[in-house]
Amino acid sequence: MHWVKNDNVDNYHAEEYFLEQIFEPRSYSFCDITWYLSWSPCEDCCAIIQDFLEEEHNVNMHIHVARLYYEHDPGNCAALRELASFPRVTIQAMDVEDYMYCWDTFLQTDGYFDFTAGSFLSVIEKNRLKLEEILMDLHL
């Protein structure tokens, strides 16, 4: 289990950094990668993920996003639709259970936080609906 963040020194987004620096390909079986991302992949990262999956035929990718990166940018929306249509990829907005899993798994326990995932249900729902709207354009 890993967590990564953008690498501003080498100008890597977290997605690219994980695929190029952390992932170790295995040719003998299938691999399921589940990502919980603060932001949906940008246009460039969508292309990097697709290139990666074209090389790694045994990898399935499940992407859960908390927020939508430049959701009004047509290039980002088109890239998300294209990535979502790629075989072996699922993209969805995080739900309350995802937030709770991330909370329990990735946050430091000694910090104080005055909120819970349940306290922003309307934002969670808004992101889910907006991502569905973006991905629905896939069928146009």
Q: Is 15 annotated in the active site? A: yes
Q: Are 77 and 71 in contact (CB under 8 A)?
A: yes
CA atoms within 13 A on the CB side of 74: 0
Number of H helices, E strands in the chain: 5, 3
Q: What is the pLDDT of residues 8-23, one digit of tens each?
A: 666 678 788 788 877 8
Instruction: Count CB-CB contacts under 10 A for residue 83.
Output: 22
Q: Which residue has the higher pLDDT, 58 or 8?
A: 58
pLDDT band at 110 (very low <50, low <70, confident <90, very high): low
Q: Which domains does the chain possess?
A: 14-139 (3.40.140.10)
In percent, the amount of the chain with pLDDT more than 90 equals: 30
Show the tokens assigned to 28: 């003998």
- pLDDT (0 to 100) of residue 127: 83
Q: What's the chain's average pLDDT?
A: 81
- pLDDT (0 to 100) of residue 140: 41
- pLDDT (0 to 100) of residue 139: 44
Q: What is the pLDDT of residues 113-132, one digit of tens each?
A: 555 555 667 777 888 888 88
